[in-house]
């Protein structure tokens, strides 16, 4: 049951991601958990080009999607800022 209260925002699971061997292909569902986004959000990012690079293995809407460890790290690093002012400026764009 939801109380309507906002919960604290969680963070990407960087330790789990960094512990994976280089070149690891991560299934969509696991990648969503690692970057703290829903599968629906990752799908939207894929359609708009906002998200991390991915691999689609096969054809059709049910073909599995995988993300390389390095692609997830690179995408997360793209959000890095030096100050709150820089973060606010980025949000206004």
Residue with token string 């708009």: 48
The confidence score (pLDDT) of residue 93 equals 59
Q: Which two tokens stand for residue 66?
A: 């995988």
Tens of pLDDT along 16-29?
A: 899 999 999 999 99
42 by DSSP, 3-state: which? helix
pLDDT of residue 72: 96
Flag whether pLDDT at 60 surpasses 80: yes
CA pair distance 67, 43, nearest whole angstrom: 12
pLDDT: which is higher, 70 or 9? 70
pLDDT per residue over 27-40, tens digit each?
999 999 999 999 99
Quote the DSSP letter at residue 10: P
């Amino acid at each position: 049951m939801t109380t309507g209260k906002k919960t604290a925002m969680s963070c990407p699971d960087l330790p789990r991601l960094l512990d994976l061997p280089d070149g690891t292909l991560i299934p969509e569902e696991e990648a969503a958990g690692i970057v703290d986004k829903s599968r629906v959000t990752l799908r939207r990012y894929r359609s708009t080009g906002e998200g991390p690079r991915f691999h689609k293995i096969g054809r059709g809407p049910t073909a599995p999607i995988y993300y390389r460890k390095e692609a997830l790290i690179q995408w997360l690093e793209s959000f890095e800022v030096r100050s709150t002012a820089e973060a606010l400026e980025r949000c206004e764009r």
